[in-house]
Amino acid sequence: METQRQTDATCYSEDGVDLTMIRWMLSLTPAERLEVLQAAVNSILEMREWAGKNERRSSSM
């Protein structure tokens, strides 16, 4: 059980930041980081487009 606590302690900073995500991102090359971030941007843009279409539909009813 102590090993699990030690593992949990190394996964999060004192502020509660997930250090595994930071370590993972730093393990990528700069080009790979850009690919990950571009995919996130594309997802956000798709969600905004979807939300805009649904908003127009509900306001026309």
Q: How many domains does the chain have?
A: 1
Q: Average of pLDDT values for 27-56?
A: 95
Residues 41 and 34: their CA atoms lie apart, in Å, by 10
Domain that holds residue 40: 2-59
Percent of the chain predicted with pLDDT > 90: 67
What per-residue confidence (pLDDT) applies to 35?
98
Of 16, 14, 34, 15, whose CA–CA distance to 25 is shortest? 34
pLDDT at 43 (0 to 100): 98
The Cα–Cα gap between 9 and 30 comes to 28
**1-5, 41-45, 57-61: which has the minimum mean pLDDT?**
1-5
Share of residues in the chain with pLDDT > 70 (%): 82
pLDDT at position 55, please? 77
Whole-angstrom distance, CA of residue 28 vs CA of residue 23: 9
